[in-house]
Structure 1
Amino acid sequence: MRDRGRGGRERVPVVVQARSGRRGLARVLWIAAETVVTCGVLILLLVVHQLWWTNQQARAEAGAEVRALEREWDISLPEGEGEGEREGEGAVSAGPSARPSAAVVSPSAPPGSGSPSPRRTRPPAPPPAPSAVPPPPSGQTFAVLRIPRIGLTVPVARGISKSKVLDKGYVGHYPGTAAPGAAGNVALAGHRNTHGEPFRYVNRLRKGDEITLRTREGTYTYRVDRILPVTSPRDTGVIQPVPRSIVKPSYGYSEAGSYLTLTTCTPEFTSRYRLIVWATLRR
């Protein structure tokens, strides 16, 4: 029986569907939780990729490149091979058979009946000027760096491109700096973290530690001499022929010599500053 209120109007009961509203709220919360978990898993996978997988890939590639370089350098040419190339193809030997023979005149021959006088010939044209040799391409490996203190063996490539050099796990050679073993400053850069992180532990180097650079021409040994713990990424003085920090001038050298410079990021997992290790050539 319906209730009648004032004025004789009927009252209609209102039913509130609380359960339906609760189910909708629970569904929204569940979707939000799933989204958060999915994002967390993706972030975790990204971290694993950056901190573990890129290291595995880069170290494998760098190790294979070291083996390929040293295998190439250790192969010696058979004896006598290449001699023709050294003398020049078609070159005329300067031995006795190449000397012009003197004219022989019989004593009984009348004067002037000897061999005819040699004809005058034009002087040979000068050789053409050698064409300019293009610089080696960025990313080409040419040396192997070894640091026994931290158990590092890694190839050195030309340039400091991330995609062509550093992200492959290689150490990069700053363009314009000295060649291994030469006077001046051999400046090298490497990742501190991820992509092989070859310079992860260069902060453990101490004065007197040995560093070797092997190339096709030979092996050059440097000894750690000085360390600059922190400097600006724009401190270009540290890779000059006579390295000296322009941010902290008390660090560096004042005389010409044969130096090796290692540069990497610091602190770990950031690129805010640079850590510098200097070494000098011993042999």
Structure 2
Amino acid sequence: MTALRPERDTGAAYGDAADPGSSYGRQPYEGSGAWQEGQEWSGHGGYPGESGAGYGEQSSAPPQLAQQGQGLDATAVLPSYGGTTSGASYGDPAAAPPYAGPPPASPVDPARAAGARPPAGSVDDATVALRALDDKTVALRAVDVEEVRRAGDRAGESAPVPGGRAARRKAAKRTGRRGNGPQTAEKPSETAAEAPRSRMEARRAARAQKPGAAVLVSRVVGELFMTTGVLMLLFVSYQLWWSNVRAHQEAGSAAKHLQQDWASGKRAPGEFAPGQGFALLHIPKLDVVVPIAEGISKTNVLDKGMVGHYGEDSLKTAMPDDRTGNFGLAGHRNTHGEPFRYINRLQPGDAIVVETQDKYFVYKMASTLPVTPPSNTSVLDPIPRDGGFTQPGRYITLTTCTPEFTSKYRLIVWGKMVEERPRSKGKPDALIS
């Protein structure tokens, strides 16, 4: 065994006053907060022990270690290092008794051994109180988790389940949910079979499912409106699109046959039957080339995309080869080929050419009348006064409906002949340029 240091051999404590130059623990602490035996910490707010002594204070009985096979006395208090029973300071040589060996065993308190509750104010009471608070906290947390789960069920979403993935899977199996999306368990009332109904109840249910008179009427009216709308759409499509297609085809075919007859010499100038084509009308500015037929029949002439000549007895007008007179023509402005749709764009001096079997008749646009009633037949007079003419001459009059897509009024355009050219001399300049 290592020999004791000199200061231990003399029995003095470490840092004793006998050790020259040592200040650690040399003198007892004598400040304003010094410990006193049997008193609490004075001046600086110490923490008292069980017996009311200050920190490091020792009871009158020295500490006793348990003998082999026996436990420590529950009432024994361990002394502070270097402390004494008289409240001596740390390191006091006079208060440090020599080690006397293992202490005798202390008897165990019968009340503690029997599990009785220690007296109030002890450490065990504080521990029990803390444990009670912990139990209460756990219970509150369990209630909160249950409330969150119920709120999630009401909202159609799964409540967060504490624990790992296995715990969440088990919770999902218990609640009948799969995947991430909200799923609701099937209610027993929905899966249960309906109770059988009586014959009267079945009749009432069937009668309630039948539509009433107002519902039937509304359905019929709705179907009528839908049918009418479809028919109107088809009619508009026919008028604006299909009628033009058919009229252009018929007018083109009539012009082709007319030119073939002229080339073969089968047709000679003279009187023409109603609906018979005898000339071609050219309006170079509007890029119009359309056959001219006898009469103004809507079915036989105008609706076929041709231009009609006023040749009836009540409205008989002159022919282009007459020495004087007014050559009157009518045509559609909209639908059925609409040859006169843009005659309102003609300006004075624009060419209007009539081509026959042996001649070209060239007119220059002179004047226009934007609006006039259909009853104003004076526009077809041999000398049309409304066109600004006062003397006999060779005139041409183009008539059509206005405004567009209506037939309420008439639009009139007049022209005056400026050239009569035989076909043998070729086309006029108005058709070449």
Structure 1 portions without partners, runs of 5+: 1-12, 78-133, 246-250
Residues 104-119 of structure 1 mapped to structure 2, 5 A cutoff: none
Q: Distance in 2 between matches of 1:196 and 1:33?
A: 36
RMSD over equivalenced CA pairs, Å: 2.5
The residue number in structure 1 matching 2:147 is none
Q: Distance in 1 between matches of 2:251 and 2:306?
A: 6
Residues 116-155 of structure 1 mapped to structure 2, 5 A cutoff: 135-155=271-291
* 1:239 corresponds to 2:375: no
The residue number in structure 2 matching 1:117 is none
Q: Distance in 2 between matches of 1:231 and 1:31?
A: 45
Match of 1:69 among 248, 255, 258: 258
The one-letter amino acid paired with 1:147 is I
Structure ID, larger Rg:
2
TM-score (norm 1): 0.68
The one-letter amino acid paired with 2:317 is T
The residue number in structure 2 matching 1:50 is 239
Q: Is the 8 A contact 1:140 1:158 kept in 2?
A: yes
The one-letter amino acid paired with 2:380 is I
Cα deviation digits, residues 127-165 of structure 1 (max 9, x gap): xxxxxxx95311110000010111111000111111221
Q: Distance in 2 between matches of 1:53 and 1:229?
A: 29
The residue number in structure 2 matching 1:160 is 296
Deviation at 1:24, TM superposition (A): 6.1
The residue number in structure 1 matching 2:431 is none
Structure 2 portions without partners, runs of 5+: 1-200, 420-433
Deviation at 1:31, TM superposition (A): 3.4
TM-score (norm 2): 0.45
The residue number in structure 1 matching 2:167 is none
* 1:280 corresponds to 2:416: yes
Partner SS, residue 54 of structure 1 = helix
Q: Is the 8 A contact 2:272 2:278 kept in 1?
A: no
Structure in which a larger fraction of residues adopt helix: 2
Structure in which a larger fraction of residues adopt strand: 1
Q: Distance in 2 between matches of 1:265 and 1:25?
A: 46
Match of 2:331 among 178, 186, 190: 190
* 1:230 corresponds to 2:371: yes
The residue number in structure 1 matching 2:390 is 254
Q: CA 1:211 to 1:25, structure 2 compared with 1: closer, same or farther past 3 Å?
A: same
The residue number in structure 1 matching 2:228 is 39
- Which one scores higher on RCO, CA 8 angstroms, separation ≥ 6? 1
Q: Distance in 1 between matches of 2:248 and 2:273?
A: 22
Q: Distance in 1 between matches of 2:239 and 2:308?
A: 20
Q: Distance in 2 between matches of 1:19 and 1:253?
A: 81
Question: Identity percentage over the alignment?
Answer: 48
Number of equivalences: 210
* 1:199 corresponds to 2:388: no
Q: Is the 8 A contact 1:169 1:196 kept in 2?
A: yes
Q: Distance in 2 between matches of 1:147 and 1:255?
A: 25
The residue number in structure 2 matching 1:60 is 249
Partner SS, residue 385 of structure 2 = coil
Deviation at 1:71, TM superposition (A): 2.4
Deviation at 1:23, TM superposition (A): 6.4
Q: Is the 8 A contact 1:238 1:252 kept in 2?
A: no
Deviation at 1:252, TM superposition (A): 2.9
